Amino acid sequence: MNEVDPSTRFGRFVAAIVTLAMVAFLTAILVGFHPIASWNEASLDLGTRLFPSLELLATALAIAVPIGFALAALKARGGGSLLAPAIDGSITVLRCIPFFVLVSALSVVAGLRLGYFENANPWSGNLIVPAVVLALFALPGVAQFDFFAKRPPWRTIALGCRCIAERLPQLIAAQFLVEIFFAWPGEGHAFITAIQMGRLGLIAPIVFCSAIAVVLLRLLVSILTTDSGEPAVV
């Protein structure tokens, strides 16, 4: 088994290939009994919706990471004061609110207060509102990351990337919710539309592609951090 030892770059690559094969197998079992109606239709649908999804995800992370870092810094500096437990408590409370409840409530607020769903309103279709809501999901994870442990900065970045890669499936699931409630034209919106239309054939590529994206990103992070001194994720 030395040649597939996951602590080496080659081993991680082989592990990712095996994992991809298993993802394909599991997708076939769970979704794939329903044949894909049309590859053209599926690929066109995925292709047009991929960019808005990536745009939303990237914006949410761009919002969550600096705010999370600031909260972590405040928490670290507020050692003996009430600030640290206050931030910790707020993060815990935010983490315990079921995300579908939060998104549902915030979509109502955005609709009523900002007129988000009205075409004539400048907020309509705006990226910032759904991105801020998605950032609320990512924020607890970022804020609880130990940015200030004694280690080189590049290793902190490597560990941070690895954490995001580990939590990516939850982030994608949260993104689906945001896209559904805010009518954002991404993969999540396509997913719920396909469910409502009873077209499981269109769902298989969405689930499969999101799982593949997660495995590939994990592989990328894993390969880039091979020499970070951290042992491989088995």
Compute the least distance from the CB of residue 164 to another protein, in Å: 10
Q: Closest CB to another protein among 50 and 200?
A: 200
Per-residue burial over 38-72, b = 16 or more CB atoms within 10 Å of its CB, e = otherwise:
eeeebeebbeebeebbeebbebbbebbbebbeebb
Compute the least distance from the CB of residue 170 to another protein, in Å: 7
Q: Closest CB to another protein among 212 and 223?
A: 212
CA distance 159 to 164: 9
Q: Closest CB to another protein among 86 and 93?
A: 93
Q: Closest CB to another protein among 63 and 168?
A: 168
CA distance 227 to 10: 13
Phi-psi category of 188—alpha, beta or left, where left has phi over 0 and alpha has psi -120 to 50?
alpha
Compute the least distance from the CB of residue 77 to another protein, in Å: 17
Phi-psi category of 86—alpha, beta or left, where left has phi over 0 and alpha has psi -120 to 50?
alpha
Residue numbers at the binding site for another protein (CB under 8 A): 1, 4, 6, 15, 18-20, 22-23, 25-26, 30-31, 33-34, 92-93, 95-101, 104-105, 107-108, 141, 144-146, 149, 159, 162-163, 166, 169-170, 172-173, 176-177, 188, 191, 195, 198, 200, 203, 206-207, 210-212, 214-215, 218, 230-234
Compute the least distance from the CB of residue 83 to another protein, in Å: 18
Pair of tokens at residue 59: 């914006």
Could you tell me if 71 and 87 are in contact, meaning their C-beta atoms sit under 8 angstroms apart? yes
